[in-house]
């Protein structure tokens, strides 16, 4: 990237490589506009000596110098027209002297104002934050304004995040000498070089932090939710602290996933019962030790009683009791607990009355606990009730726990949506989820309002994303998957943003303002999720993928308990006459899903077991529609390839070739899905594909 970590760039392959992400800071192509910008950005003034102030100063200097094609100096105070002054009232006397304190207070510590003003008699642009992080976000917003070639005259921008916790969850595992330990590691190995830390701090860590800060991400859980105790061992805390030191300069708090039985594994206690005083004392001591190394440590993420991870159910304690014990120990330090609702399987045998339908189990465990969680606990629910599928309904917990801080977890890394092979831009999917009306308190009770806390008046709001970053030079394995990382940050900041505008921003910043490029790449991104859905899981058909680590290929025979295919029909019956899952939603929503005629067809096979001969609204039979969908998905990938090929000569050759190779891999993947699934369903149903639909 151009900017504070240019040393990391020098090892790359050239100016137009993927490493720089959306922070390219190349000169504005329009000479007239570039000259106009120079008159508005003649020098940088950032008061203060804190790490965030230094980051702001360096970013504005590097960003403006790159975009304007001239070296923009740093000054102690405005000495000419066109200075860019950035800071917050607490650390910048210049900003404090403007009298904007009341306005900034209403925007909160992460909000900001960008406004034309006069200081020392000079016309200047002021980037004022409610706190230092707000000023930093404002600085990145100002640079984005230039990258998008927007007007700088008479600037008046006010913004603040809709969600106060915007966090990446890394599924990185511990290994002191190897760097290939990432679950679902589609972008290469873990970023964290444990054998080198804390003595050697890779400059890539700073570029990671810069990229996150530029899109408003303010937290990073650096290790896997299937946690290893090594991350909180005393001898390893200096390594963790070295990362926190880098993150701090960009307003990012570090969090850790922890194993619930750590008092037994590390402390030698006989049990980890959350109500045992010795267990509570062990956690208080360990947490104090962590804060001794990392004063601004954010807190813990916990996966309990699921997939082999221990939890409070082992001791007959509820998840609320388990979470609150940790929350009480963190509270004196200002820390929080993010407690996942992803629970299923044999770990739940200790609770009576749990359904055999896996998608019901999280609701059955957590819904009765509404109101029992401490105020510094955020219950973290996946966007759907199963497991990050390309299509599943909204998790019924949203809107159903009004007395609980309830955050949302989405998966940026593409575990079930194509890995590092397929292009699947997930922002349209997430946008649909945020916009879904739960009707919990009548019309307008959207998931967005639940997560923000505005529906029920909660102080903590969380949007978490399972990260897709790794050591690949392009950061994300598939180069266009960078757009998922970018889009996550933008939606976490403001989930009312539209996918088209996010795609437009990312394309202009990552590639160019060439209209052909912007239209072409925006269209490719926007169409990719539906294309992937077409050739993998039409009509809400779920969990068809293999059990293997890559989860790319179909394995329909093994997955029959999930997709429910028989000789006469397909789909899982989750209606009132089946597993009863529909009634985990408020009655108006449940009624819509329960009725075959009103259930959205994209979720038909999620909620209903349907005969292969069932007639859809299109007039097609179900089975012929499925055959057509598998073939249409292959054609859809061909459309993506043609659209990308049309950009040859408009996108630099190396990056064009990189993406084309990936799209060709995706075409082979789609053909494999088509052939496997059509063969499976034709044999299962005994109904051949109609020739003229081939």
Backbone φ and ψ of 70, nearest 5°:
-140, 155
Cα–Cα dist 568/600, whole Å: 22
Is 620 among the residues known to form the active site? no
Is 307 among the residues known to form the active site? yes
CA 532 from chain centre, in angstroms, equals 19
Residue 352 burial (C-beta neighbours within 10 Å; 0-12, 13-18, 19+): exposed
Cα–Cα dist 82/37, whole Å: 9
Is 415 among the residues known to form the active site? yes
Question: Who contacts 674 (Cβ-Cβ below 8 Å, separation ≥6)?
Answer: 535, 630, 631, 633, 634
Cα–Cα dist 160/4, whole Å: 26
Cα–Cα dist 565/542, whole Å: 11
Q: Which residue in 132, 415, 456, 689 is the catalytic one? A: 415
Q: Which residue in 77, 357, 370, 387 is the catalytic one? A: 387
Q: Which residue in 307, 595, 645, 683 is the catalytic one? A: 307
Q: Calculate the alpha carbon distances from 369 to 37, 322, 402, 659 in Å.
A: 55, 12, 11, 47
> DSSP label at 440?
B
Backbone φ and ψ of 584, nearest 5°:
-80, -10
Cα–Cα dist 555/549, whole Å: 13
Cα–Cα dist 288/294, whole Å: 10
Sign of CA dihedral 52, 53, 54, 56: positive
Show contacts of 646-651: CB within 8 Å, 24+ apart. Answer: 646/516, 646/520, 647/516, 647/517, 647/520, 647/521, 650/512, 650/514, 650/516, 650/517, 650/520, 651/511, 651/512, 651/517
Do residues 338 and 301 touch, judged by C-beta distance below 8 A?
yes
Name the residues annotated as catalytic.
Answer: 307, 387, 415
């Amino acid at each position: 990237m151009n900017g504070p970590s240019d040393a990391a760039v020098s090892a790359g392959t050239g100016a137009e490589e993927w490493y720089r992400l959306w922070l390219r800071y190349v000169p504005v192509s329009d000479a007239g506009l570039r000259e106009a910008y120079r008159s508005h950005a003649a020098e940088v003034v950032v008061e203060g000596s804190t790490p965030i102030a230094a980051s702001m100063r360096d970013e504005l200097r590097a960003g403006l110098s790159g975009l304007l094609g001239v070296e923009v100096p740093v000054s102690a105070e405005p000495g000419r027209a066109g200075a860019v002054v950035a800071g917050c009232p607490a650390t910048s006397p210049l900003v404090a002297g403007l009298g904007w304190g009341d306005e900034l207070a209403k925007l909160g510590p992460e909000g900001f104002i960008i406004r034309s003003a006069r200081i020392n008699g000079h016309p200047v642009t002021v980037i004022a934050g409610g706190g230092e992080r707000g000023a930093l976000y404002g600085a990145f917003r100002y640079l984005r304004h230039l990258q998008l070639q927007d007007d700088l005259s008479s600037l008046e921008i006010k913004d603040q995040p809709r969600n106060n916790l915007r966090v990446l969850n890394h599924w990185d595992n511990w290994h002191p000498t190897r760097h290939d330990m990432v679950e679902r590691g589609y972008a290469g190995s873990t970023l964290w070089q444990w054998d080198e830390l804390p003595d050697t701090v890779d400059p890539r860590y700073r570029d990671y932090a810069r990229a996150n800060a530029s899109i408003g991400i303010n937290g990073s859980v650096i290790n896997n939710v299937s946690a290893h105790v090594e991350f909180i061992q005393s001898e390893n805390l200096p390594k963790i602290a070295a990362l926190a030191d880098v993150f701090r300069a960009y307003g990012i708090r570090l969090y850790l996933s922890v194993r619930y039985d750590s008092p037994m594994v590390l402390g030698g206690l006989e049990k980890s019962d959350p109500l045992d005083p010795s267990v509570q004392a062990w956690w208080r001591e360990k947490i104090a030790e962590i804060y001794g190394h990392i004063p601004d440590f954010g807190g813990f993420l916990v996966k309990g009683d699921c997939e082999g991870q221990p939890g409070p159910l082992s001791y007959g304690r509820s998840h609320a009791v388990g979470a609150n014990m940790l929350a009480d120990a963190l509270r004196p330090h200002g820390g929080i607990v993010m407690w996942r609702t992803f629970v299923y399987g044999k770990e739940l045998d200790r609770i009576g009355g749990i359904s055999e339908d896996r998608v019901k189990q999280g609701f059955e465990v957590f819904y009765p606990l509404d109101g029992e969680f401490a105020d510094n606990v955020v219950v973290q629910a996946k966007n759907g009730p199963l497991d990050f599928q390309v299509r599943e309904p909204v998790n019924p917990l949203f809107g159903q726990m009004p007395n609980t801080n309830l955050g949302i977890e989405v998966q940026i890394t593409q575990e079930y949506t194509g890995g590092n092979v397929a292009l699947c831009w997930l922002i349209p999917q997430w946008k649909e989820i945020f916009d879904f009306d739960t009707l919990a308190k009548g019309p307008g009770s959207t998931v967005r309002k639940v997560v923000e806390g505005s529906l029920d008046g909660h102080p903590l709001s969380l949007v978490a994303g399972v990260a897709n970053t790794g050591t690949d030079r392009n950061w994300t394995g598939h180069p266009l998957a960078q757009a998922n990382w970018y889009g996550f940050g933008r939606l976490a900041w403001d989930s009312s943003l539209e996918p088209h505008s996010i795609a437009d921003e990312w394309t202009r910043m990552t590639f160019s303002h060439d209209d052909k490029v912007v239209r072409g790449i925006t269209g490719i991104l926007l169409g990719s999720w539906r294309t992937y859905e077409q050739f993998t899981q039409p009509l809400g058909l779920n969990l068809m993928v293999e059990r293997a680590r890559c989860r790319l290929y179909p394995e329909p025979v093994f997955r029959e308990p999930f997709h429910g295919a028989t000789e006469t029909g397909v789909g899982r019956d989750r209606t009132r006459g089946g597993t009863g899952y529909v009634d985990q939603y408020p009655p108006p929503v449940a009624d819509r899903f329960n009725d075959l005629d009103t259930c959205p067809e994209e979720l038909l096979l999620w909620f209903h077991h349907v005969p292969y001969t069932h007639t859809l609204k299109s007039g097609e039979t179900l089975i012929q529609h499925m055959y057509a969908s598998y073939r249409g998905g292959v054609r859809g990938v061909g459309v993506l390839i043609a659209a990308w090929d049309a950009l040859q000569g408009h996108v630099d050759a190396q990056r064009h070739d990189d993406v084309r190779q990936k799209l060709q891999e995706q075409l082979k993947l789609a053909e494999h899905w088509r052939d496997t699934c059509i063969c499976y369903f034709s044999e299962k149903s005994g109904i051949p594909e109609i020739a003229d639909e081939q």
